[in-house]
């Protein structure tokens, strides 16, 4: 039986060598701790774990499959990769719980006034601000994107007593927890009545800059935007203006157009914004889920079975089937 070389790009997962090799005696797993390592090791690799840049891809002679380290894979959609026979899979499903909890945390921080209370605490101010504190139960949330993360968010929000609507370009039947499903062309109508708009879309040519001034003008002044997807999906300059002019009530952001967020960004000082440093998907449980997905896909690859989470490289997303 032929040996299958698996290259793991730099990161904590380079410790998974023994785990991957336990899948089959055919597997030889190696770690690429630097760019030089990657260029050397990829020449004989059939499988790569990571987000593979263009330069090492062009050096690959035997590559057949790239397992992305996360749900996102847009940085690998360069022309040579798209036109090749190399399969890309992602880790859809690994981060669903953590991502949903982060979105809900942003919503609760806003609704329960925790941002304001934290500012008051620094100045030793005791003020309940009862005129601005609210609840999320009974409100309406519109989830943009019904991949596994969007569905997880929708189900949890529904369980918390929110009416949930959604927008998706592929899904035709509302999944569990979603009361009404809108087409992509009906985005502005979908967000107009929402108290919370949650962005869970993949970044594609069609979604980059999708949430812009036009959207903010259609949203309620009391609405709160959450983005746990990709920063460039939201036009950041338009968002800053909307927050300054109080055209929307606030925003919870895990992702940004430029990361790390530059010191010059007005978002640092926005009292109606709360954010995290692209950390929504992180948890020990999520990392374990990634390993399980990769090992199962590796087993399927060796058995010549269909892989999980295969992406459409031309469209830039997983194909939803319902």
Active site residues: 230, 259, 278
Q: What are phi and psi of 311, to 5 degrees?
A: -100, 155
* Cα(63)–Cα(60) distance, integer angstroms: 6
The alpha helices in 233-305, defined as continuous H runs, are 236-244, 284-302
Q: Rg of the chain over CA atoms, in angstroms? A: 21
* Cα(88)–Cα(10) distance, integer angstroms: 18
Query: Bridge partners of 6?
Result: 29, 47
Alpha-carbon distances of 246 from 212, 216, 236, 318, rounded to whole Å: 15, 10, 15, 36
The alpha helices in 76-218, defined as continuous H runs, are 79-83, 96-111, 114-122, 148-159, 187-192, 213-218
* Cα(130)–Cα(204) distance, integer angstroms: 42
- Rounded to 10 degrees, what is the CA torsion of 262, 268, 272, 277? 60
Q: Which residue has the tokens 């840049």?
A: 53
**What contacts 185, CB < 8 A, 6 or more positions away?**
none
């Amino acid at each position: 039986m032929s040996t299958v070389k698996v290259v793991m790009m730099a990161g904590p997962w380079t410790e998974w060598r023994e785990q991957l090799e336990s899948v089959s005696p055919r597997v030889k797993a190696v770690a690429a701790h630097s760019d030089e390592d990657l260029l050397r090791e990829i020449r004989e690799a059939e499988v790569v774990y990571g987000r593979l840049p263009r330069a090492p891809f062009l050096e690959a002679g035997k590559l057949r499959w790239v397992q992305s380290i996360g749900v996102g894979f847009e940085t690998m959609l360069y022309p040579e990769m798209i036109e090749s026979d190399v399969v890309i899979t992602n880790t859809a499903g690994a981060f669903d719980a953590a991502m949903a909890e982060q979105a809900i945390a942003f919503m609760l921080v806003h609704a329960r006034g925790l941002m304001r209370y934290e500012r008051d605490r620094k100045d030793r101010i005791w003020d309940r601000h009862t005129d601005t504190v609210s609840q999320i139960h009974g409100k309406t949330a519109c989830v943009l994107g019904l991949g596994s993360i969007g569905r997880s968010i929708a189900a949890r929000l529904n369980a918390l007593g929110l009416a949930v609507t959604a927008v998706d370009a592929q899904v035709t039947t509302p999944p569990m927890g979603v009361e009404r499903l809108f087409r992509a062309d009906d985005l502005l109508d979908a967000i107009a009545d929402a108290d919370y708009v949650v962005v869970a879309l993949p970044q594609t040519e069609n979604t980059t800059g999708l949430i812009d001034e036009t959207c903010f003008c259609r949203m309620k002044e009391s609405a709160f935007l959450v983005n746990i997807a990709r920063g460039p999906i939201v036009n950041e300059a338009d968002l800053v203006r909307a927050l300054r002019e109080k055209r929307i009530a606030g925003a919870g952001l895990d992702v940004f157009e430029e990361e790390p967020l530059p010191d010059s960004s007005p978002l640092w000082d926005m009292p109606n914004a709360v954010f995290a440093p692209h950390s929504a998907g992180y948890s020990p449980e999520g990392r374990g889920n990634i390993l399980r997905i990769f090992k199962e896909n590796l087993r399927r690859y060796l058995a010549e079975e269909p892989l999980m989470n295969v992406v459409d490289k031309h469209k830039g997303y997983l194909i939803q089937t319902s």
